[in-house]
Amino acid sequence: MLDRLEKDFSRKVLILHKELAPLEKELEKVRLAKKAIDAAKNQSFAEFLGSRLPDFAGDNQLSQYQSYSMKELAIEALEEHFKNGATSNNLLNYFKTHWGRGDIERSSFSPQLSRLKHEGKIKLEGKVWHLITSDKNEAPTEDQSEGASETDEVNASSNHGEEINDLLP
């Protein structure tokens, strides 16, 4: 009698295992999908795009732009892709989607654009940045350049004061 019960239970367990096997495979697929989604949430946008960029943006092109500084990226994009100018956001989006450079924060990028402006390489018209070409000779004047500090203005004022003092008896 116990032998018969054992065989019955063994047979039922075997049947249940056969029914359970496909469910376990499906469960494993669900767990793998959840892991992939969690990994994608923690992955930067650039890393996510890196494996999904179109074939025309080959590895050599991507690796080339990985070593570019923010200023170099801005100049390259304005020269080659935004001949009519671009906003900061346009540039940052382009860096992400075409060159895999989603690592650049706007708060870090804006000072680099200001430096390029001060160097006379780009100009700002409204919210649009434009490349200054050498044939236009559009280097910003001191009045136009962004970033003249209050210290500079105070120093300029104090220099004028010294000149006036030199003229007094």
- The residue range of the domain holding 70 is 59-150
CATH number at residue 136: 1.10.10.10
Whole-number Å distance between alpha carbons of 2 and 13: 16
* Domain contains 87: yes
Whole-number Å distance between alpha carbons of 63 and 99: 8
Question: What pLDDT sits at residue 99?
Answer: 85
* Domain contains 11: no
In a structure prediction context, what are the per-residue pLDDT tens digits for the chain, which is 169 residues long?
899 999 998 999 888 888 888 888 888 888 888 877 777 666 555 555 554 444 444 444 556 788 889 999 999 999 989 999 999 999 999 988 888 888 899 899 999 999 999 999 999 999 999 999 875 444 444 444 444 333 333 333 334 443 444 444 4
* Domain contains 122: yes
Question: What pLDDT sits at residue 150?
Answer: 36
* Domain contains 36: no
* Domain contains 27: no
* Distant-in-sequence, close-in-space partners of 82: CB < 8 Å, separation ≥ 6: 90, 91, 94
Tokens representing residue 128 in the block: 């649009």
User: Three-class SS string for the chain?
Assistant: CHHHHHHHHHHHHHHHHHHHHHHHHHHHHHHHHHHHHHHHHHCCHHHHHHCCCCCCCCHHHHHHHHCCCHHHHHHHHHHHCCCCCECHHHHHHHHHHHHCCCCCCHHHHHHHHHHHHHCCCEEEECCEEEECCCCCCCCCCCCCCCCCCHHHHHHHHHHHHHHHHHHCC
Residues linked to residue 131 through DSSP beta bridges, in sequence order: 122
* Number of domains observed in the structure of the chain: 1
* Domain contains 35: no
Question: What pLDDT sits at residue 43?
Answer: 59
Question: What pLDDT sits at residue 46?
Answer: 52
Question: What pLDDT sits at residue 42?
Answer: 63
Question: What pLDDT sits at residue 56?
Answer: 44
Tell me how far the alpha carbon of residue 53 is from its chain's centroid: 15
* Domain contains 93: yes
